[in-house]
C-alpha cells in the first residue's frame, strides 16, 4: 500500500525537476545553437532549427574581431578588464567582510548592535539612489571612470551583505576558541589569522561566488564608473548588440559573445559547487 504513493511522489518529483531544468536549459540551448550558425542562417532560420553546418567562427569573431563602437578588436580586451575588476573587488571585499564579521560576531565590539543594524540597512537600500553622490565624490577626487573607482564602488556595495554572511557563520563557532587565544596572549588580528581564517574556507567560497557573480554580471556600475579604458564585458556585449559592422545585425556573433561572457561564473560555480553547498549547510547564510 505504501509503495504506490511513494512511486507516484518520486515520479512527480522527477517530473518537476525535468520541467525546471528544461525551463532554464532551453534558452541556453537556443543561444548556443544560434552561435553555431552563420549570419544569414541566424537571421533567416527559426531559432529552434539546428545549424546546417555548425562551426565556431562566431566565437572567434566575437573574441577577436567584433566591432564595439569604432573599435573592431572583439571582447577579449574587455574580458581581461572584467577579470582584473572582479579579482580586485572580490579579494578586497572578502578580506574586509571577514574581518568585520569576526569583530561583530566574536569580539566585544562597542555598539556592535548599531553597526549590525546599519549594515542591514545598507544591504537592502537600492544602490541606484547612491550613484549620483558617488559620481560627484569621485569626480572631486579625480577618480571617476578609473579602475580605482569601479573597484571601490563594488567593494562598498558588496560589503554589507558579505559582512552579514561572515558574521552569521562566525556566530556558530565555539567561543572557547577565542577565549583560548586570548589566554595565550593573542590579539585581534592574531586570532583572526591563525584561528578564524583556517576555518573560513566554506563561507569564503559562498561569499566569493556571490561577489564574483555580482561583479562579473554588473552592467550599470560598469557603465557609469569604469570609463572607456576599463569597461567590463557586460557593457561591451551590450554595445556589441547595438553595433553592426555591415549595417546588418549579426545575431550569431552576439550570442557567441553572450556565452563567452556567461562562461566564467558558470565554470566557477561548477568547480566550487560542493564547497558552496557545504558553506550554506554549515550556517553561512542562516538568519
Q: Does residue 67 lie in a domain region? A: no
Q: Does residue 103 lie in a domain region? A: yes
Q: Does residue 181 lie in a domain region? A: yes
pTM check: above 0.95: no
Average pLDDT over residues 200-224: 89
pLDDT at 212 (0 to 100): 92
Q: Does residue 147 lie in a domain region? A: yes
Please state, in angstroms and rounded to a whole number, the distance separating the CA atoms of residues 272 and 182: 34
In this structure, are residues 75 and 261 in contact, taking their beta carbons and an 8 Å threshold?
yes
Closest CA to 47 of 58, 28, 25, 31: 31
Q: Does residue 159 lie in a domain region? A: yes
Average pLDDT over residues 249-258: 84
Q: Does residue 7 lie in a domain region? A: no
Q: Does residue 5 lie in a domain region? A: no
Average pLDDT over residues 179-195: 85
Q: Does residue 27 lie in a domain region? A: no
State the chain's mean pLDDT as an integer.
Answer: 82
pLDDT at 1 (0 to 100): 47
Who has greater pLDDT, 52 or 275?
52
Query: What dihedral angle (degrees, nearest 10) is formed by the CA atoms of 213, 214, 217, 218?
Result: -170
| Residue range(s) defining the domain that contains residue 183 | 76-281
- Where residue 183 sits, what CATH number does that domain have? 1.10.3720.10
For 16-60, write each residue's pLDDT tens digit: 989 998 888 888 888 898 888 888 887 776 777 888 788 888 899
Report the number of distinct structural domains present in the chain. 1
For 132-146, write each residue's pLDDT tens digit: 889 999 999 888 889
Amino acid at each position: 500500500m505504501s509503495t504506490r504513493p511513494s512511486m507516484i511522489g518520486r515520479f512527480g518529483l522527477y517530473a518537476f525537476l525535468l520541467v525546471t531544468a528544461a525551463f532554464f536549459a532551453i534558452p541556453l540551448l537556443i543561444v548556443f545553437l544560434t552561435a553555431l550558425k552563420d549570419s544569414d542562417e541566424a537571421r533567416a532560420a527559426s531559432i529552434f532549427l539546428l545549424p546546417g553546418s555548425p562551426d565556431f567562427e562566431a566565437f572567434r569573431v566575437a573574441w577577436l574581431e567584433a566591432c564595439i563602437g569604432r573599435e573592431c578588436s572583439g571582447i577579449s580586451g574587455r574580458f581581461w578588464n572584467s577579470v582584473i575588476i572582479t579579482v580586485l573587488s572580490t579579494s578586497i571585499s572578502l578580506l574586509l567582510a571577514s574581518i568585520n564579521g569576526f569583530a561583530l560576531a566574536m569580539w566585544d565590539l562597542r555598539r556592535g548592535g548599531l553597526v549590525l543594524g546599519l549594515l542591514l540597512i545598507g544591504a537592502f537600500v537600492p544602490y541606484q539612489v547612491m550613484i549620483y553622490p558617488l559620481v560627484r565624490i569621485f569626480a572631486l577626487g579625480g577618480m571617476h571612470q578609473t579602475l580605482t573607482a569601479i573597484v571601490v564602488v563594488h567593494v562598498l556595495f558588496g560589503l554589507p551583505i558579505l559582512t552579514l554572511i561572515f558574521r552569521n557563520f562566525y556566530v556558530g563557532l565555539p567561543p572557547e576558541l577565542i577565549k583560548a587565544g586570548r589566554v595565550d596572549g593573542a590579539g585581534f588580528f592574531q586570532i583572526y589569522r591563525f584561528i578564524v581564517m583556517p576555518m573560513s574556507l566554506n563561507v569564503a567560497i559562498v561569499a566569493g561566488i556571490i561577489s564574483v557573480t555580482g561583479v562579473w554580471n554588473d552592467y550599470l556600475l560598469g557603465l557609469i564608473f569604469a570609463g572607456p579604458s576599463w569597461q567590463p564585458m557586460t557593457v561591451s556585449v551590450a554595445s556589441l548588440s547595438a553595433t553592426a559592422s555591415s549595417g546588418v545585425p549579426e545575431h550569431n556573433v552576439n550570442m557567441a559573445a553572450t556565452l563567452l561572457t556567461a562562461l566564467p561564473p558558470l565554470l566557477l560555480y561548477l568547480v566550487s559547487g560542493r564547497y558552496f553547498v557545504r558553506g550554506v549547510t554549515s550556517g553561512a547564510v542562516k538568519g
